[in-house]
Amino acid sequence: MKKFACLILLPFALVTFTGCITTRNAEVVDPKATKAIFEKKKVAVLPTRSPANFSTDSILAVKKNIDLKLDQAMPTLLPSSAIINTNKTINIVNDSNQIETLDKLVTTYDSTGVYNKKMVGALFSTIKCNYLVISRLKTEKLDIMISKATGASLEVTILNGAGGVEWTGVGDFKRGGIFGFGGASANEISEELVKLAFQNF
């Protein structure tokens, strides 16, 4: 009888303990701007950046997917703006030997919480745009014993030529579970993050 009861309870236990919990959060940090100010303006989208200690193969895959999602989303979000996609923007920056300026800009922001106006001005002068979209990725993945979890956040900021922040949105996506059921693909993570970051745009 005990053995029979165990067999009956086993499927329920597996459903309970292998299930995963997914949480999503969207937040507007700096909502000053409205879409109207971007009308008929040139908006350049930079490739997604992440801290140096997050530069692993799995993170690179997520960043590439986010860039793709951003390139797809921006023309829809700002249909009357001239969008310079991530690939074209980084080529302009690279051809003008401004990659180091971009890296320093993000590094400085990571340590101070402020975008250096001189560096911002150099990038605007190089790209020749009215607004600049900078996205920053932070992510973590846990896979220890029977646990597996994925957590990531994407901060998207739109800067003006003076180095001021016009708008910032943040998307958070987390999934946790056990027995290997808490992971998420690079495509799923990037799609969720971009959608959440612009949810209240």
4 belongs to a structural domain: no
8 belongs to a structural domain: no
Q: What is the pLDDT of residue 29?
A: 74
- The whole domain housing 173 covers 20-197
Strands 42-45 and 20-30: unpaired
CA separation for the pair 119, 101 (Å, rounded): 6
Digit-coded pLDDT (tens) for 153-172: 999 999 999 999 999 999 98
The dihedrals phi and psi of 33, each to the nearest 5 degrees, come to -80, 150
CA separation for the pair 182, 143 (Å, rounded): 9
Report the Cα 38 to chain-centroid distance in Å.
21
12 belongs to a structural domain: no
Statement: residue 11 has pLDDT above 60: no
Q: Are 180 and 148 in contact (CB under 8 A)?
A: yes
14 belongs to a structural domain: no
Digit-coded pLDDT (tens) for 74-127: 999 999 999 999 999 999 999 999 999 999 999 899 889 899 999 999 999 999
152 belongs to a structural domain: yes
123 belongs to a structural domain: yes
Domain count, the chain: 1
The CATH number for 119's domain is: 3.40.50
102 belongs to a structural domain: yes
Quote the pTM value.
0.79
